[in-house]
Structure 1
Amino acid sequence: MRPVLCLLPVVLVALVAVRHREVLADGFGSLRRADPPWLLAAGGATCLTWVAAAAGRQGAVVERLPRRRLLATQFAAGAASHLLPTGLGAGAVNLRFMTVCGLPLARSSAALALYLLAEGVARVGLLAALLVAFPHALRPDVLLPEGAGGPLLSALGAGAVAAAGTLLLVRRARRALSSFLRTALCEARSVHTRPARALALWGGSFAFPALQAAGLAAVGLALGLPVPPAHMAVAYLAATVAVALIPTPGGLGSVEAALIVALVTAGGPVAVTTGVVLAYRIITVWLPLVPGALTLGALVRLKVI
């Protein structure tokens, strides 16, 4: 059974690549026209995202995790996140890694939730800070007719209220959630009593989206996108926050569409913007996908996860 699990990630990569072969061809075509130094900068930022993720994951638990295995797990988790609905693949890999390291399942789940919460807060916080610093970075009126924002927000608010009401009506779910929250709060308190862990958690959580945004800005500069780098960072953060609720594998398709829309609202021409987004996704998703899948298979074979 384990050899089959080792080969499964590679098979899934092949299936996803065949399905998106036209996107891959267009993306590599954009890379051929790009300025190499800026592409190297984008690749460097992408590599540092795995270091930032490893720091954040370590900061979410009190126990010291094996560093090399933790870093390799983040690389493998990146591939898993693009093969399963957003967040599920990476979460499953990290959850399995922590349980193999000896953490009880309840505490591993709490640590996973703590990291996701910290990364979400950091992403939204960075977006809010950049919007305050650059209030005209995005122009939603380019795509939304006047008055469309109110009904959209109302619909989202109604959906959130309905979801909360459903949760409150389900007694078992409420009890399970209450127990989980107690464990998560205990884990959060323990982590924040150790300055080194708190620094790793929040430093990694803020660095992760910041490095992703920097990678997009570098690709934009490589392809001559006429948008200021700070505005490209705002567009990236806004797009990723917007697609967080769309359950597609790794955001494939939804992320590209959201990034194109966000960069167009930031003032980028559609043609250049499309090339930038495709090139960016080649660097951050497709090039690491095969080695990431192979690493995932190796970690399964070695029983690291």
Structure 2
Amino acid sequence: MTLLPLDTPVAPSPPPTPTPTPTAVSSRRLLTPANGRRALSLLPLLFLVLWAALDLSAVRDGFTRLTTADPWWLLTGLLFTYLGAVAAACVRQGAVPDRLPPGLLVASQIAAGAANHVLPASIGAHAVTVRFLRRQGIPLPRATASIALYSLVRAVAKPPVVLVFLLLAPASIPPARLLPDGRTLLPAVAGILLIPAGAAALSLVRPLRRPALEYVRTALTDVRHLHTRPSRFLPLWLGATAAPLIQASVVASVGKALDLPLTWPQLLFAFLAASTAAGAVPAPGGIGPIDAALVITLAGYGTPLSLATATVIGYRTLTVWLPLLPGTLLLSAMVQRKLL
């Protein structure tokens, strides 16, 4: 045994490692990525509960009025509701050069439909779609450019459809009554003015200038490339043309279920005109402005006000309430499986 001199410094022993308390261990276990995804997957269900609590009377009245309707016509309307997700998937596929898995794409649009009823101006649906495209390996500039192309094509394809029905359908409403009033035009004018203002602001802010130019360059390149491929521009434009007709067919199915004194073309045109007149108001899922405009349009055709109101409630039941629970469950499942 060797004895050290008295003046030899002794190295201090390392401090003992603190033993984690049970609270700290449980906190770390809770804050894992897997638990974060589980919590995120429950958010749509929370939105569903809050939405039902805020609009419980409308749900109750809608189901009460539909108890006397023809169930087969209501089932047809529900089928048209899900066909709308297929049409949206066609437009989404046509807006990107990359090939997307068809089944997952349709599923993402059903989930996006549920998110669309939470945030206004289709923000929820676009956010879900961008997340899905990113999970499919599509770069963010191309994904956001596809959202812009999707919105533009949907907006461009609808007015010709409305014009055809205005010329061919037996309309008993003066066209002037279908035009939006001053309160509806104000948000539309504000939105039109904000687009160039936003573009000017992006050009002035140096950190945002380069991403904005890259976004515009990517969008223009993809548009030129997509329109050289029939497998892309055909579903893009055909899906955008069919989408408003499918939505209008839901209203027509509810009208037939309630035995409205209107023909199928009149019911289609009533929804197309109402949605065009009220589409400038950025409400979640279009709920509110379109409903009021549709009631006025149906009443202008001579429909009793009670039946017109029941038709709108039935339309919202088929397009919002019945698909909302499957859509939120599908949204949660896709988040849990890292597809969103």
Output the TM-score relative to the length of structure 1.
Answer: 0.90
Q: 1:54 to 1:152 in 2, by over 3 A?
A: closer
Aligned to 1:221: 256
Aligned to 1:289: 324
TM-align CA RMSD? 2.5
CA distance in 1, matches of 2:132, 2:262: 41
Pair 1:280 & 2:315 matched: yes
Maintained 8 Å contact 2:178/2:297: no
Aligned to 1:48: 83
Q: 1:117 to 1:168 in 2, by over 3 A?
A: closer
CA drift at 1:195: 0.5
Judging by fraction of residues, say which structure has more helix: 1
CA distance in 2, matches of 1:126, 1:143: 15
CA distance in 1, matches of 2:54, 2:187: 32
Alignment-mate amino acid for residue 226 of structure 2 = V
Alignment-mate amino acid for residue 17 of structure 1 = A
Q: 2:197 aligns with which of 145, 162, 166?
A: 166
Q: 1:180 to 1:19 in 2, by over 3 A?
A: same
Alignment-mate amino acid for residue 197 of structure 2 = T
Once the two structures are superposed, residues 76-130 of structure 1 have per-residue CA deviations (whole angstroms, 9 ceiling, x without a partner) of 0000000111300000000111111011100001111111111111222211221
Larger Rg: 2
Q: 1:211 aligns with which of 230, 246, 254?
A: 246
CA distance in 1, matches of 2:115, 2:184: 32
CA distance in 1, matches of 2:134, 2:335: 13
The unaligned stretches of length 5 or more in structure 1 are: none
Maintained 8 Å contact 1:46/1:212: yes
Aligned to 2:265: 230
CA distance in 2, matches of 1:123, 1:137: 21
SS in 2 for 1:249: coil
**Larger RCO of the pair (alpha carbons < 8 Å, separation 6+):** 1
Once the two structures are superposed, residues 115-164 of structure 1 have per-residue CA deviations (whole angstroms, 9 ceiling, x without a partner) of 111111122221122112237343366799xxx96x77986786467446
Taking the TM superposition and a 5 Å limit, the aligned residue runs for 1:69-218 are 69-134=104-169, 136-139=171-174, 159=190, 162-163=193-194, 166-167=197-198, 170=201, 171-172=203-204, 175=209, 179-218=214-253
Taking the TM superposition and a 5 Å limit, the aligned residue runs for 1:243-258 are 243-258=278-293
**14-23 or 180-189, which moves further after superposition?**
180-189
Q: 1:157 to 1:75 in 2, by over 3 A?
A: closer
Alignment-mate amino acid for residue 59 of structure 1 = G
Once the two structures are superposed, residues 203-225 of structure 1 have per-residue CA deviations (whole angstroms, 9 ceiling, x without a partner) of 11111111111111111011011
Q: 1:229 to 1:293 in 2, by over 3 A?
A: same
SS in 2 for 1:245: coil
Maintained 8 Å contact 2:94/2:233: yes
SS in 1 for 2:279: helix
Identical amino acids, percent of aligned pairs: 41
Once the two structures are superposed, residues 20-52 of structure 1 have per-residue CA deviations (whole angstroms, 9 ceiling, x without a partner) of 111111111121111122112111111211111
CA distance in 2, matches of 1:27, 1:155: 31
Q: 1:137 to 1:127 in 2, by over 3 A?
A: farther
Maintained 8 Å contact 1:131/1:137: no
CA distance in 2, matches of 1:152, 1:285: 26
The unaligned stretches of length 5 or more in structure 2 are: 1-35
CA distance in 2, matches of 1:45, 1:300: 26
Maintained 8 Å contact 1:81/1:90: yes
